[in-house]
Structure 1
């Protein structure tokens, strides 16, 4: 018997204050798949991610997260089983990295008073910190971290409850080249290490996609332009339509890059063996 999908979205519409944001969007994500939501600013990516993270209800259609249909489940409880990484983490206290990661267990910004992790939980935090490349920053204070280090710490935090689903909302926002590359490398390591984990990453920059990206959904004006395996969806023609601008895609060593313009008659990805 096949395993139920981690996420199931069927014919979803979202209307806010009379404004249509998503139109008849469908998506199925299974364990071990790593999806990217791509589209121009205002395409509806963050709205869709909010549905996947049980932060909002659709206006029409249905959404099932980890087998639970929105509208028939305690949303707050369901969110505790989803690893949702928001780079706009509003932490004001100078917590150490280790303590920030541990707050993933309590789903709070700050350490809960008089709460102490078990030895096993503290060990899990240390393993995740090392996996995200922050072993030498375990005791560093939050205000001293670079933006890239903060992004990786928040991913470790989101993984503390051992979620089956990880949602990444533009995790490379505000990073310089070094920070972006370190982040992508660690996300790629994570995807290869946690084989049962499903993930969805939102971005509008193809250069930010990890090599382990398996599937892509292209959104344009709130509608699904294309969805499926990454190599089938990420073509020069499809991406040009998605962003309403002619572009040429190349892929080297598993990473995509984009240039403006497209030679006449070119179709698909100009793949380069890495």
Structure 2
């Protein structure tokens, strides 16, 4: 396997006619996607549509059955994916930390790619300053010394995003970051993501969700999945329409957008639709 030294320039992610087959069943079929620097993609679809499977390919966690996946310019299957993953910011909402480490300590473990702070490792002055800036961006400065075990789910989500950004990745992957959050926590998270994207214009993000209300205003592109197949992909103004969202979820859904944010409302089926 080649080393995972990643080239600069070009798309950050590219898939070509990707299939994922498990036990004879297609989880993904003929998926093609290109993510450029500064783009912010949403992967949308119902439960079981294949969103997390696709995110696993984009995060160099798994390989396709057929087709090609290029992550940060390197083709999966020709590079050490463990090393490649160190160049990605992948937010795992099931972070396994169980000890009362402070928010600051958890954020800094993004540099060592470890769950607990490594013994005898100390951040540099610049690394510490970078952590403070990220905590400020994510609205965490006030609780920087609070123990992980006392945080709400929404606070933990923002801590994990700051942690993922510590190595300064060019790409951030978010798997349903707003799941389980109450209204206030969700809005704080989405506001922090919008601020983050404005402060780091070259950063690209891919966010998985099945709720349109969980999309930040700064979302630029969307890919709609239904039963492992692409319904539509491209700029949000072209993809996020009532017709295409209805096709994606297999039900009449009326969508609207106010002040940059989307909402969706399912329509009752007519007798002829049943």
Question: TM-score when scaled to structure 2?
Answer: 0.94
Matching residue within 97, 102, 110 for 2:108: 102
- Matched residue count: 263
Match of 2:182 in 1: 176
- Residue 215, structure 1, aligned to residue 221, structure 2: yes
Query: Deviation of residue 46 (structure 1)?
Result: 0.1
Query: Deviation of residue 263 (structure 1)?
Result: 12
- Residue 228, structure 1, aligned to residue 248, structure 2: no
Question: TM-score when scaled to structure 1?
Answer: 0.94
Q: Aligned Cα RMSD in Å?
A: 1.4
Match of 1:59 in 2: 65
What are the superposed Cα offsets for residues 221-268 of structure 1, whole Å, 9 maximum, x if unpaired? 10011000001000001000100110111100000000122899xxxx
Q: Within 2, Cα distance between the matches of 1:3 and 1:156?
A: 24
Q: Within 1, Cα distance between the matches of 2:180 and 2:227?
A: 25
**1:40-55 residue pairs with structure 2 within 5 A?**
40-55=46-61
Q: Which aligned segments of 4 or more residues in structure 1 are displaced greater than 2 angstroms?
A: none
Q: Within 1, Cα distance between the matches of 2:253 and 2:26?
A: 28
Match of 1:185 in 2: 191
Matching residue within 17, 27, 35 for 2:23: 17
Match of 1:243 in 2: 249
Give 3-state SS (helix, strand or coil) of 2:29's partner.
strand
Q: Which consecutive unaligned segments of at least 5 residues does structure 1 have?
A: 265-274
Match of 1:272 in 2: none
Q: Which consecutive unaligned segments of at least 5 residues does structure 2 have?
A: 1-7
- Residue 260, structure 1, aligned to residue 266, structure 2: yes
